[in-house]
Amino acid sequence: KHNGGSYIDPVKLVGKDLLNLTKNIEVLLGSGHPVLNTVSNYYFASEGKRIRPLIVLLMSQATSIAPKKCDAVHADFFQIMDQPLSSKALNKNISSFPTSDVDSTFYSPSLSPEGVIILPTQRRLAEITEMIHTASLLHDDVIDVSESRRNLPSANANYGNKMAILAGDFLLARASVALARLRNPEVIELLATVIANLVEGEFMQLQNIQENGTMSTFDYYMEKTYMKTASLIAKSCRAASVLGGATAEVCDIAYAYGRDLGLAFQLTDDMLDFIVTANDFGKPVGADLKLGLATAPVLYAWEEHPELGPLINRKFSQKGDVEKARELVYQSGGIEKTRILAASHCQRAIETISQLPESDARNALIQLTQKVLTRKK
């Protein structure tokens, strides 16, 4: 009833927009420094799943035929958006930009077969979302001392920590300029909050267990998961609908969908860390325990095996802790319970998005949500 029957290839719906993503980001990242260009573009050259921009583009289409409070198409915004972001250009008076630099066909609204539309601002949002995600990966691989990403050496492994961190900062900075160019304060606030949430989530993870707080350890873990993973996709989904001029109700649907989807993704990731091989995953597995992290499978196992408590508290730092914890997780229902929790978030995401009017884009979002639970990487 929900998915409209046959499989819809999302790439058919938004493939063209997605194809230009990397090229457009490269333009946004252009700087006067060749090494900075190389390091900040490094993760865009490898094959990420580009799942966030895909979702932002599909959400843009899906909400474009939903109720609107205003018409969002403002041709003058599209011009401002495409002006150069390089420091040299920005140090000049903004109003003196030569508009001749702008390739106006580059960013014209794209019409799908159904007549639903993706606005240039929404396409730019998809790029900004991927840039923020990539910045967080650059920083994350330094924090996690990770040597590989997407089956290749990590940026820090190749260029060192200093350059990896600075490249991440640069990505955030350019994403912020591009965001300001969308001239939408609500969208700026949403994405700026995402950046804060990513840092908050990472801090919650460093702490692992809440100090003198009232939240249960599991609630704290879910809050952390929202901050580090779900916030970006949830607020990006909301921003896409805001840019499209959708009603408050539609914006809430977009947000709630992204939130449940993001939570389901991270729960699945935390589960896969216990069950797949590094080669399938494209990054180190069994990493979480070694990093001292107690994720859902461990927290569930703890309910069955109280002896896990001290190990969690000392972040698996004593000899044999990691192996013992892993063993107890396998003996417990922790992995299965995590799968069930992820499934319930997927189910709720599907119920939420099903409130939007029927369209290929909406059905593609539903099908994508159904696939979260069966992914292996």
Give whichever of 182 and 294 is closer to Mg ion, judged by the CB atom. 294
Of 122-161, binders to Mg ion (CB under 5 A) are 140, 144
- Between strands 117-118 and 148-149, the pairing is unpaired
Residue of the chain from 19, 199, 248, 340 that contacts ligand FPP (CB under 6 A): 199
What does residue 246 show for φ and ψ, rounded to 5 degrees?
-70, 160
Q: Quick one: which segment of 71-79, 84-92, 260-268, 303-311 binds ligand FPP (CB under 6 A)?
A: 260-268
What's the gap between Cα 203 and its chain centre? 18
Residue with Cβ nearer Mg ion (26 or 223): 223
Q: How many CA atoms lie within 13 A of 242 on its CB side?
A: 19
The correct pick among 198, 222, 240, 296 for binding ligand FPP (CB under 6 A) is 198
Is 180 a binding residue for ligand FPP by CB under 6 A? The answer is no
83-142 positions binding ligand FPP, by CB under 6 A = 132, 135-136, 139-140
Which helix (H) or strand (E) covers residue 164, if one does? helix 161-180
Q: How many CA atoms lie within 13 A of 65 on its CB side?
A: 17
Single residue of 228, 235, 326, 348 touching ligand FPP by CB under 6 A? 228
State yes or no: residue 172 binds ligand FPP (CB under 6 A). yes
Q: Does 294 bind ligand FPP (CB under 6 A)?
A: no
Distance between CA 28 and CA 356 in Å, rounded? 33
295 binds, among Mg ion, ligand FPP, none (CB under 5 to 8 A by kind): none
Q: CA distances (Å), 210 to each of 194, 203, 221, 261, 313, in order?
A: 21, 11, 9, 25, 11
Q: Residue 48: which of ligand FPP, Mg ion, none does it interact with, CB under 5 to 8 A by kind?
A: ligand FPP
Q: Judged by CB under 6 A, does residue 150 bind ligand FPP?
A: yes
User: Shortest Cβ distance from residue 321 to ligand FPP (Å)?
Assistant: 19
Comparing every residue's Cβ against ligand FPP, the nearest one is: 48
Is 117 strand, coil or helix? strand
**Which residues does 208 contact at the CB level (< 8 Å), separation at least 6?**
292, 293, 294, 312, 315
Closest CB 335 distance from ligand FPP, rounded Å: 16
Query: Tokens 């860390």 belong to which residue?
Result: 273
d(CA 3, CA 358): 9
With contact defined as beta carbons under 8 Å apart, do 253 and 334 qualify? Answer: no
Residue owning tokens 């994403």: 175
Asked whether position 237 contacts ligand FPP by CB under 6 A, the answer is no
Q: Where are the alpha helices (DSSP H) in 6-74?
A: 10-19, 21-29, 34-45, 51-64
Binding of Mg ion by 17 (CB under 5 A) = no
Q: Which is nearer to Mg ion, 299 or 356 (CB)?
A: 299
State in angstroms the smallest separation of the CB of 190 from Mg ion: 23
Q: At what angle do helices 248-275 and 296-304 cross, to 10 degrees?
A: 70
| Residue nearest Mg ion, Cβ-based | 144
Instruction: Please identify which residue in 42, 265, 274, 302 interacts with ligand FPP, judged by CB under 6 A.
Output: 265
**Could you tell me the smallest distance in angstroms from the CB atom of residue 41 to ligand FPP?**
14
Interface residue list for ligand FPP (CB under 6 A):
48-49, 51-52, 55, 132, 135-136, 139-140, 143-144, 146, 150, 172, 195, 198-199, 202, 228-229, 233, 261-262, 265-266, 269, 283
- Judged by the rule CB under 5 A, the positions of this chain that interact with Mg ion are 140, 144
